[in-house]
Amino acid sequence: MHPGGWGGDAPAFWPVFPVMFGLFWLAVLATGFYFLRRRVTGGGAQRGGDPLGQARTILAERFARGEIDEDEYLMRMSALRTDA
C-alpha cells in the first residue's frame, strides 16, 4: 500500500482537528448566545446607565403614585442634587 491510504498510519497531529472543530463551534454558539442575550435584555448601556437619573425617575414615579408627599419628594430630590 502507499502512504496515506486506508492502511497507512495517521499523522500524529490528527486529534487536534476534532478538538479545534469542537472549540470553533463552541465559540460560535457562545457568541450567538451573547448577542441574543444582549438583544433580549436591551444591551449593556441601559443596565449600568445613570444611577442618579434612575433614582430621580423612581422618586418622581413614587410621587406620581402618591406613595410620598410633596415635602418628602422635595427633600429627597434636594438630597439627590447635593450628592451629584
Q: Is residue 8 pLDDT above 80, yes or no?
A: no
The model's pTM is 0.42
Q: Is residue 16 pLDDT above 70, yes or no?
A: yes
6: confidence class by pLDDT, cuts 50, 70, 90: low
Separation of alpha carbons 23 and 17, rounded Å: 10
What residue segments make up the domains of the chain, in order of their start? Answer: 1-49, 50-84
**Helix, strand counts (H, E) of the chain:** 4, 0
CB 28 within 8 A of CB 20: no
pLDDT of residue 47: 57
CA dist list (Å): 21 to 10, 16, 31: 18, 9, 15
Q: Which amino acid does the sequence have at 34?
A: Y
